[in-house]
Amino acid sequence: MKKYLLFAILCLVMTTSCQSSKSARYVLDNVLYCHFNPNLVVAVDPETPFIAGKQENSTAISANSMSSFTCVNSPWWVFADSGVYGDSDNYMERGVLVELSMLPANSNWEVRTNSLNSFENALMAGSTQMFGHSHDFVVVYSGPPCDEKKIKYLEEQGYKTPGACIELILFRKAGRRTFYSITYFESYEGEHLFFGETPPFREEVIGGETFYSLNEDFSDEFLKRASAAFAVSDIYHLRRLEREAQGAQQPESPSAESSQSPMPEDPASSALQES
Domain coordinates of the chain in residue numbers?
Answer: 23-246
pLDDT tier for residue 61 given thresholds of 50, 70 and 90: low
Q: Where are the alpha helices (DSSP H) in the chain?
A: 2-20, 148-156, 216-229, 235-249, 254-259
Q: List pLDDT tens digits, range 151-187.
A: 999 999 999 999 999 999 999 988 777 889 999 999 9
pLDDT score, position 263: 25
* Residue of 243, 136, 219, 149 lying closest to 183 (CA atoms): 136
pLDDT tier for residue 78 given thresholds of 50, 70 and 90: very high
pTM (2 d.p.)? 0.76
Q: List pLDDT tens digits, range 220-247.
A: 999 999 999 999 988 777 777 778 777 7
pLDDT tier for residue 250 given thresholds of 50, 70 and 90: low
The dihedral over CA atoms of 45, 37, 28, 84, expressed in degrees to the nearest 10, equals 50
pLDDT score, position 262: 28
53 within 8 A of 34, measured Cβ to Cβ: no
Identify any residues that bridge with 42 across adjacent strands, giving them in sequence order: 32, 232
**Across all residues in the chain, what is the average pLDDT?**
77
Highest mean pLDDT among 55-64, 89-98, 124-133: 89-98
pLDDT score, position 7: 37
77 within 8 A of 32, measured Cβ to Cβ: yes
In sequence order, what are the residues at sequence separation of 6 or more whose Cβ sits closer than 8 angstroms to the Cβ of residue 133?
172, 174
pLDDT score, position 144: 96
pLDDT score, position 58: 65
* Sign of the dihedral through C-alpha 207, 208, 209, 214: positive
DSSP 91-106: EEEEEEEEEEEE--TT
* 3 state DSSP class of 18: helix
Q: What residue type is 64 in one-letter code?
A: N
Give the span between the Cα atoms of 68 and 63, in whole angstroms.
Answer: 9
pLDDT score, position 130: 86
| Model confidence at 260: pLDDT above 90 | no
Considering only residues 253 and 132, tell me which one the structure prediction assigns the higher pLDDT. Answer: 132
Give the span between the Cα atoms of 42 and 27, in whole angstroms.
Answer: 9
pLDDT score, position 37: 78
